[in-house]
Structure 1
């Protein structure tokens, strides 16, 4: 009996050690449209390093008029390549994100408005996942009760949609959602406890906290605020979600691999909070005023002529040259966010989007920011 008890106790200890040492999540969104960028910015699903992600989320598929999900314009090719990543990493989880900023609220609001329409959407989602051997669905409604076509009833209806998805998926498929971190965006849209209780994972978009429409430069993903000012920061968003009933162990902390850029009103006034006349100049690959991929940022800095500074309060870098100003992430700031996620005992980290990293190693090592995210498991 004594030996049997020792063996039982050892089994319990071993089981507990397995539970407490599980790997943290590294969730990689892939923006489908970057397949259209010119080289060397062109990125397709088969550029993903499947060993650097625990989850890969294909973004985006849209919504149809009959509560169905529309395949991307490129057809099923992207899903075929997504499925092939499991040949490299059999433990990889593959999901599809439905919605996105361009989709808005109108169709989502209509789908969520009744048990019948929700049920049709859920069955269509299951068919999609089954047909393409996907592991889950990521809801990316930006945002319930906000935007054209939205309704105040979106808040309870979204909770119902999440609850009914979870029940119907029956553990066979993962259910995740991308949500904004900031209180001013999240509070009008969500019953936070009700939503989090019915999701497997929450991908917290802890970025876009300052945007190119602002009249001054700012950090889109500052970890903390200066002094006692800790609003519109990553920390404030995480604390808001947890304090309002979301389980820390379900939250993946979102990290942006793209930069925000502005054109300075006065090139000599170039700090954080400097007046601007508009967005920064577009990059040669991303071609989007006010935004650059990390690969574009590091290429500019490596070419010389830029002043680079690290904001010791907000824990993120910025750079300026002439009237151009860039707020971005680097290996140091990403590593500090990883440590923050560990300290807060979060589920892991998430990136929007993997295709903005230096995946070719133009500036040095391949995937420098993604490698920094993977220190979550060190």
Structure 2
């Protein structure tokens, strides 16, 4: 989840042994700190969200604690003052990590010993309380080995105990805990590493499954649907990911479906061959091939692009000349939200809330979920 990675987060379940009830709905949106200049938190339309995530903070790679400088402290205070003061107010969480370089290795080291886990957990609670957050979201992209996954589970176990104990001793509401995860309960970077579903069920309020980035600059030779609901040629899809989590035993209300408010671009080899899977010659325009949803709409209008809704994948693509863009739009988002509701899962989230155009997609998703 860096600029567009996704993503990539939390209600409480056991009090000491049993957490408090989980919310009936979760409509999340990530707000990246780089968006301050064009969409400050005060401009977020909170009627369409229940939870907004500040992205990102990362702990020190030696002490495993957060070093919050004066500028960041001011930004965190402003974020929470704005969103808690909105009508309606929303829950706020700070998301930890993201998809930037080195974060994966940092978390692997952090989770590997009791001492580093304890230092990190203490610091997350301090940051949440000092700056007014309702919880914290762990965005580890991704634990690569089964050892990492096991340590991830231990971290969650210890985090939940610490959060419960802090709430009991202070009388404050328990902090929410969530995690951004892969779209399915396995990571296959180095063999097969499986998420600790039992620990997730016991300790997290929900997970934000990043159901996007199935295709992008890392697949430069052919166009693809970045966040297909269905994959007619395989299993790389949101439906397969969500069903896999359910089959792995996750409690349905703790599963939250991610959707992208951005698209990925390719350069077509032959403009006459322009469907999903068309031969490509690398990435197209945008920020390293990425375009916010609002930028996709501007591109389509300015270039008289052909817009296609693909019923097989439940996704959109557009093309003009050699530029091809895969993304989600109104119809595909509505279909995805309806699908998530049919599974009786906990809700959905967007990476990122700032990508929308006049809140069109956010409004539609919210209305569809509550209909």
Query: Please, what TM-score do these two structures have when normalized by structure 2?
Result: 0.86
Q: Which residue of 1 aligns with 2:67?
A: 70
Give distance in 2, aligned partners of 1:337 and 1:72: 40
Give distance in 1, aligned partners of 2:307 and 2:184: 27
Give distance in 2, aligned partners of 1:271 and 1:334: 20
The residue correspondences of 1:58-207 to structure 2 (distance < 5 A) are 58-64=54-60, 65-71=62-68, 74-84=71-81, 85-89=83-87, 91-102=89-100, 103-145=102-144, 152-170=146-164, 172-182=174-184, 185=187, 187-188=192-193, 190-207=195-212
Give distance in 1, aligned partners of 2:243 and 2:251: 11
Q: Quick one: structure 1 residues 203 and 73, their matched pair in 2 at CA, closer, same or farther if it must change by over 3 Å?
A: farther
| Alignment: residue pair count | 335
Q: Is the 8 A contact 1:61 1:72 kept in 2?
A: no
Greater relative contact order structure (CA < 8 Å, 6+ sep): 2
RMSD (Å), alpha carbons = 2.0
Q: Quick one: structure 1 residues 196 and 211, their matched pair in 2 at CA, closer, same or farther if it must change by over 3 Å?
A: farther
Q: Quick one: structure 1 residues 184 and 162, their matched pair in 2 at CA, closer, same or farther if it must change by over 3 Å?
A: closer
Give distance in 1, aligned partners of 2:317 and 2:84: 37
Q: Is the 8 A contact 2:186 2:194 kept in 1?
A: no
Give distance in 2, aligned partners of 1:131 and 1:247: 32
- Which deviates more from structure 2 when the two are superposed, residues 261-270 or residues 301-310? 301-310
State the 4+ residue runs in structure 1 displaced beyond 6 angstroms.
none
Q: Which residue of 1 aligns with 2:370?
A: 377
Computing the radius of gyration over CA atoms, which structure comes out larger, 1 or 2? 1
Alpha-carbon distance, 1:184 to partner: 5.7
Secondary structure of the equivalent of 1:314? coil
Alignment deviations for residues 203-258 of structure 1 (CA, whole Å, 9 cap, x no partner): 010001112221210001111122xx450000010011111121111111101001
Secondary structure of the equivalent of 1:175? strand
Secondary structure of the equivalent of 1:75? helix
Q: Which residue of 2 aligns with 1:245?
A: 249
Give distance in 1, aligned partners of 2:201 and 2:212: 20
Q: Quick one: structure 1 residues 259 and 73, their matched pair in 2 at CA, closer, same or farther if it must change by over 3 Å?
A: farther
Give distance in 2, aligned partners of 1:247 and 1:279: 38
Structure 1: gaps spanning 5 or more residues? 1-18, 37-41, 146-150, 283-287, 359-365
Secondary structure of the equivalent of 1:274? coil
Alpha-carbon distance, 1:270 to partner: 0.5
Give distance in 2, aligned partners of 1:300 and 1:340: 29
Q: Is the 8 A contact 1:259 1:294 kept in 2?
A: yes
Q: Which residue of 2 aligns with 1:148?
A: none
Give distance in 2, aligned partners of 1:91 and 1:71: 25
Selected match of 1:49 from 45, 49, 54: 45
Query: Please, what TM-score do these two structures have when normalized by structure 1?
Result: 0.84
Q: Is the 8 A contact 1:218 1:327 kept in 2?
A: yes
Q: Is the 8 A contact 1:45 1:78 kept in 2?
A: no
Note if 1:219 corresponds to 2:212: no
Alpha-carbon distance, 1:73 to partner: 8.4
Give distance in 2, aligned partners of 1:219 and 1:75: 36
